[in-house]
Amino acid sequence: MKRFIAVLLTAVLCLSLVGHAQEEAPFTGYYSDFTMGLDGWYPRSADNTVELKRLGYVIEVRGRTASWNSPGRDFPLLAGVKYRFSVDVKQTAVESAEFMVSVAHTRDGAESYENLGRVTAKQGPWVTISGEYTPEAYDKYTLYVETVGNGDINFMMRDFTVEPVELHFDGDLPSLKEVYADYFDVGSCVNGMQMRDKAQIDFFATQYNIFTHENELKPDSVLDVTASKKLAKEDETAVAVKFTSAKPMLDYCQKNGIKVHGHVLVWHSQTPEAFFHEGYDTAKPYVTREVMLARMENYIRQVLQETEKQWPGVIVSWDVVNEAVADGTGALRESNWTKVVGQDFVNRAFEYARKYAAPGVLLCYNDYNTPNEPKLTGICNLLDSLMADGTIDGYGFQGHYKVNDPHISRVKNAMERIAAKGLKLRVSELDVGISENTRQYHRQQADYYKELFLLFLEYADQMEAVQVWGLTDDRSWRSESFPLLFDKNMEAKLAFYSVAEAVKEETK
C-alpha cells in the first residue's frame, strides 16, 4: 500500500506541474521507492565511472573508485527549516562498511560539504541512515549517499525520504524569563546549527532572556591561526581574531534585546595548540612566558573591544577563565597555560580582562564539580587571590548533575561558601541527567530541578542568571540522559513545570 501511495502521489504531482511549469512549487517533502525510475538521482564521480541501475524498488550503485562516488539528487530545501531524512542501504562486498548521508551545497559558485548522518552496514542486511538537517542559505543543495573508505564497493539503496519537521510551539506555556523577572535572568546555550532554525530560536526567545554560545566564542572558533601566523613573521606577540561563527547569535540577540554571556576567553581546552608556539607553528618550540603573556593580552583586548564595538551592550558578562582547578588536588590543573606562562596565568587573564572590559561587564571564573572536595577549597583559594587583585566580579557553577547527585545539601554548602565572599553568582551550565526515559525518572528529575531552583532563589540578591546547557534533550551534549527542560519535540517536560512552579513555592 505504501508503494502504491508513493506512485500515486508522484503521478499527481507530475500532473499538477503540467499547467504550472513557470511556478516554483514549495518543497513539502520527498519520498521515493524508485518505482518511477531513478527519480532525479544521478551518479556523482570525477571520471564518469559510476553507474546507477534500478532493480525493482532498489537503486544499485556500481563502478565506484572513491568514497564520495555516490548517487546524488538536488533538493529545493529552504534555509532555516529543519528536515528529517532517512534511507536504507545494503552492501554485500565486505564484512563491514560505514555509510553517510551528506550534502553538497553551493553558494556563489563555491561548493562545500557537510556530513549529516552515518551508520555501519554489516555484510548482507539492510540498515537505515537517518537524521535531521537545518540548512543555511545556499543556492543549491545536493543530498548524496557515500561511504567512509571502501570507495570501490558496490551498494544498494532504497526508500529515500526527506520531510520538514513539524514543530509545535506551545504558546500557552508560562515564560520562565517572566516568571523569574524579579529574581534573576534565565537562559540557555545555543549552537550555530540551532541558530539556523529561526522558528525554534524565536520560541526560546519567549522563554529565555540570556544566551551563551555553546562553542562559537571559544578560542578554537575565534583565534584566526592562519592570519596570526602571517602577523607573527613581523611580531611574535601579534594575534588575529574572527567572529564568523559567533556573529549569527550576536546579531540575533542585538536585534531582539537578548543578553549574551561570553564563553570563554582563556581555557586549556578548545584552544589551538599553535597559540603557544613560535610563529604559530606546532613544529616549533613553545614561546617564552613574556611572549605568551603579550599574546594573551592582545587576544583578550581584541575579543573584548571588537565584540563591544560591533555589538555594544549585548555581552553583559564573560567567563574569563574556565575550569582551571584540578579535581583531585584543588591545585591548578597542568596545561599549556601553566607550562608556558606559569601558575599566575589566571590572575594575568583577569588583569587584562579588567583592563579592557567595558564598564558594567561582569568578569567571572567558571568551573564544574564545585561541591566536591578538594576542588571546592581550591576554587575558593583561587577566588580569594582574584578578589585580592580586584579583578573578579562573579563565579559560575556549571551544574552538570544527575538526580540527587550531588545531594542538594552539598550544592548548598558550595553556594554558601562562595556567596559569603560577596561575589555575584551564576549557574552557567545546568543539566540534570536521568538513567531511563520513563515518567518515574522524569518525575525525579523534576523534583531535583525544583530543589535546585528553590536554592537559587535563596541567593537571588547575588544570582545574576541561571542557564541550562542546551535547548532540547536531543541536542544536549548529554543527550543519552535526557537532561534538559524540553524534549526532542520541543515539548515542555515535567522539569520545566517544576522550575516554573518553584517561584510560587518560594513565595508562600
CB atoms within 10 A of CB 507: 8
CB atoms within 10 A of CB 96: 10
3-state secondary structure of 292: helix
Cβ-count burial of 149 within 10 angstroms (0-12 exposed, 13-18 middle, 19+ buried)? Answer: exposed
d(CA 380, CA 429): 19
d(CA 268, CA 259): 26
Residue 226, CA atoms < 13 Å, CB-side half-sphere = 2
Helices (H), 257-374: 289-310, 336-340, 345-356
Cβ-contact 185, 466 below 8 angstroms: yes
**End-to-end C-alpha distance for the chain, whole angstroms:** 59
Angle, in degrees to the nearest 10, between helices 375-389 and 345-356: 40
d(CA 104, CA 73): 10
Nearest-Å Rg of the Cα atoms of the chain is 26
Angle, in degrees to the nearest 10, between helices 494-506 and 439-458: 30
**Which is catalytic among the residues 429, 436, 458, 506?**
429
d(CA 248, CA 55): 46
3-state secondary structure of 256: helix
Q: Percent helix, strand and coil across the chain, each rounded to 5?
A: 35, 30, 40
- Concerning whether 323 is annotated as a catalytic residue, the answer is yes
Copy the grid coordinates of residue 101.
548521508
Bridge-based pairing of strands 30-32 and 259-267 is: unpaired
d(CA 7, CA 14): 11
3-state secondary structure of 252: helix
3-state secondary structure of 349: helix
Cβ-count burial of 497 within 10 angstroms (0-12 exposed, 13-18 middle, 19+ buried)? Answer: middle
Copy the grid coordinates of residue 146.
557515500
Query: Which H or E run contains 85?
Result: strand 83-90
**Which is catalytic among the residues 146, 323, 351, 464?**
323
> With b meaning 16 or more CB within 10 Å and e meaning fewer, what string describes 9-44?
ebeeeeeeeeeeeeeeeebeebbbbbeeeebebebb
d(CA 329, CA 369): 13
Q: Report the catalytic residues.
A: 323, 429
